[in-house]
């Protein structure tokens, strides 16, 4: 039986592949695993039924073979462990998992903070003074990541789940605006987006958004 993945019935990203189910869809496509979707409205996300699967009323969730998971990173890790998206070498496997954590714990928080400052605090008197500090923090992380990648194609040897999580983070709008200053990162994201599995996952989530528009 195919896994069931909960997604937005009508994604607020308008089909740009920025919602957090994208990493899950991509990991499943890389593994060749089919899946079913459970499209949910914003109201349905807050129902007791959904919060029994996802305590915070968010997407995605994942259900397969008696396993019920929430949090995109945890779901991608589960898929990676069961479908070969991690290196077989013990040390390399541990490093790839470390990059998954780096994506969501080190890179993404500074990106989200920068986006929140613009989207939700743009009219506050302190925002103009705060934005340069937030951008400097973001650039520091991007500088370090670009230095690590340098001439590498992927974070740790072969493509892995670590790259899935990192590229999904780097596709967020706050980073996209800075990519002209980071050709190494821009090339990294482009390589990932050229993968057949990424294209499949992107097309599937875009089709879902277009269907939601009737």
pTM: 0.94
Task: Give 118's pLDDT tier (boundaries 50, 70, 90).
Answer: low
Task: Give 132's pLDDT tier (boundaries 50, 70, 90).
Answer: confident
Residues 102 and 108: their CA atoms lie apart, in Å, by 8
pLDDT value, residue 4: 97
Task: Give 32's pLDDT tier (boundaries 50, 70, 90).
Answer: very high
Q: What is the pLDDT of residues 78-109, one digit of tens each?
A: 999 999 999 999 999 999 999 999 999 999 99
| CB 43, CB 37: distance < 8 Å | no
79: left (phi over 0), alpha (psi -120 to 50) or beta: alpha
Task: Give 123's pLDDT tier (boundaries 50, 70, 90).
Answer: low
pLDDT value, residue 126: 61
Report CA Rg, the chain: 18
Residues 192 and 198: their CA atoms lie apart, in Å, by 7
Question: Residue 131 pLDDT > 90, yes or no?
Answer: no
Residues 162 and 152: their CA atoms lie apart, in Å, by 14
pLDDT value, residue 115: 79
Question: Residue 190 pLDDT > 60, yes or no?
Answer: yes
Centroid of chain to Cα 171: 8
């Amino acid at each position: 039986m195919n896994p069931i993945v909960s997604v937005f019935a009508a994604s607020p990203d308008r089909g740009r592949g920025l919602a957090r189910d994208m990493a899950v869809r991509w990991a499943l496509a890389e593994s060749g695993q089919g899946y079913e979707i459970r499209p949910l409205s914003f109201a349905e996300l807050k129902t007791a039924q959904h919060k029994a699967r996802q305590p915070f009323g968010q997407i995605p969730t994942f259900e397969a073979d008696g396993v019920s998971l929430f949090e995109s990173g945890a779901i991608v890790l589960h898929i990676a462990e069961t479908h070969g998206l991690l290196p077989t070498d013990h040390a390399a496997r541990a490093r790839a998992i470390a990059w998954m954590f780096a994506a969501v714990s080190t890179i993404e928080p500074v990106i989200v903070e920068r986006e929140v400052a613009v989207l939700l605090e743009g009219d506050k008197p302190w925002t103009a003074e705060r934005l340069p500090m937030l951008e400097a923090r973001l650039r520091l992380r991007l500088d370090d990541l670009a230095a690590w990648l340098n001439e590498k194609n992927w974070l740790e040897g072969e493509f892995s789940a670590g790259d899935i999580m990192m590229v999904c983070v780097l596709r967020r709008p706050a980073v996209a605006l800075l990519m002209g200053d980071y050709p190494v990162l821009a090339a990294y994201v482009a390589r990932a987006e050229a993968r057949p599995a990424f294209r499949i996952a992107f097309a599937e989530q875009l089709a879902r958004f277009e269907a939601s528009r009737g």
